[in-house]
């Protein structure tokens, strides 16, 4: 069985964020909807995922019953484009194109897995809840700041909406090889980056924080 919000795995060190630092923001480039979730937490595992259908630029509905997820429903897969700040002191904007993003309406947030970006990119934790990513030439691509004991990707405009993340949530998606084939096989075969799949362990929690995402 897949393990969602896998027990025993944490994406970033569980260190209290610094509440005194503020992220400067530009005007949001798209209309805000308070029912949408704009929290893109930095995760590991085998997939990016999004809570709201509106986040996708391309989208294919799938039959979640074929992959045997007992507590969370994956109902679609597609592409998401995120306009992000490259660095705290850099006003330029970069567009991250996330492919094969799972649509999980019951998720407590969205998940950005830097290991699934293009070959040659690197990332690392740079402080309590802080992370950065570079391309093969050493240019910064994105950065994350502390949020709820994790690290949240800094989007252009710093939009805010619905949030279901609570301190201590375990947010990475781990899938067994069979489910990777079912979900991703029709698109590009089994993704090999981002760690090994596993079958053991307890099933995941079906997402915290109330309403599912819009379709």
Residue with tokens 């830097």: 114
In contact, 84 and 26? CB cutoff 8 Å: no
Domain extent, residue 90, equals 42-166+173-182
d(CA 113, CA 148): 17
Residue at 84 is within a domain: yes
d(CA 134, CA 132): 7
Residue at 31 is within a domain: no
DSSP helix/strand/coil, 154: coil
How many structural domains does the chain have?
Answer: 1
Residue at 202 is within a domain: no
Residue at 34 is within a domain: no
Which residues, 6 or more positions from 22, have their beta carbon under 8 angstroms from its beta carbon? Answer: none
| 107 token code pair | 């998720």
Residue at 98 is within a domain: yes
- Residue 24: its pLDDT value, please? 38
The CA–CA distances, whole Å, from 17 to 130, 164, 167, 208 equal 9, 18, 11, 21
- Residue 202: its pLDDT value, please? 33
The CA–CA distances, whole Å, from 77 to 4, 6, 56, 122, 180 equal 16, 21, 9, 25, 12
Residue at 189 is within a domain: no
Phi, psi dihedrals of residue 129, rounded to the nearest 5°: 75, 10
- Residue 30: its pLDDT value, please? 54
pLDDT tens per residue, the chain (215 residues)?
Answer: 444 444 333 333 322 233 333 333 444 555 578 889 999 999 988 889 999 999 999 999 987 644 434 456 889 999 999 999 998 888 889 999 999 999 999 888 999 999 888 765 666 666 556 788 888 888 889 999 988 878 899 999 889 899 888 766 678 888 777 777 777 776 654 444 443 333 333 333 333 333 444 55
Residue at 22 is within a domain: no
Residue at 60 is within a domain: yes
CA terminus-to-terminus distance, the chain: 25
């Amino acid at each position: 069985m897949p393990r969602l919000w896998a027990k025993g795995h944490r994406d970033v060190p569980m260190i209290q964020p610094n509440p005194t630092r503020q992220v400067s923001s530009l005007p949001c480039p798209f209309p805000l909807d308070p029912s949408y979730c704009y929290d893109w937490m930095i995760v590991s595992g085998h997939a990016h995922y999004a809570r709201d259908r509106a986040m996708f630029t391309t989208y294919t509905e799938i039959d979640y019953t074929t992959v045997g997820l007992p507590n969370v429903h994956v109902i679609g897969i597609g592409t998401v484009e995120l306009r992000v700040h490259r660095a705290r002191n850099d006003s330029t904007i970069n567009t991250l194109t996330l492919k094969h993003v799972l649509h999980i309406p019951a998720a407590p947030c969205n998940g950005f897995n830097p290991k699934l970006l293009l070959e040659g990119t690197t990332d690392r934790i740079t402080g309590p809840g802080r992370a950065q990513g570079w391309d093969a030439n050493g240019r910064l691509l994105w950065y994350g700041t502390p949020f709820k004991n994790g690290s949240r990707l800094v989007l252009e405009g710093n939009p805010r909406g619905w949030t279901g993340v609570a301190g201590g949530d375990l947010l990475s998606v781990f899938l067994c090889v069979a489910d990777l084939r079912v979900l991703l096989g029709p698109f590009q075969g089994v993704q090999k980056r981002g760690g090994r799949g596993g079958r053991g362990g307890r099933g995941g929690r079906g997402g915290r924080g109330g309403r599912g995402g819009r379709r």
